[in-house]
Amino acid sequence: MPAIGEIEYGFDAAGVDEYLENIRAIVLTKAAEALDKTDGIESVCNEKWEGKARDAFLENMEKDKDHVKEQFRQLYNVLCTEISNIQQVMADKDQVLID
């Protein structure tokens, strides 16, 4: 059995969960909030621009914001899956070390 200093595997599950929660809070919450701060753009468009082009622009901007938020959610889910897979590999390796 290896000495404790030679072990390369192991993880703190609670620490990983906290890490993911911090990423979720930063990426999904703060980024979404930043994307929603388009009042200035909308105001200028409504004051200085008229017609179908303006309406299409504003509609597309909303769709794009929603698309980016969805991409963040999907990427976060991919990250969670990858980290979960890594945790499982590490747990499997830890189990072998115990046997």
pLDDT tens-place values along the chain, 99 residues long = 445 555 455 566 777 888 888 888 888 888 889 999 999 999 999 999 999 999 999 999 999 999 999 999 999 999 999 998 888 888 887 777 765
Distance CA 94, CA 99 (A): 9
Distance CA 94, CA 10 (A): 6
pTM over cut 0.75: no
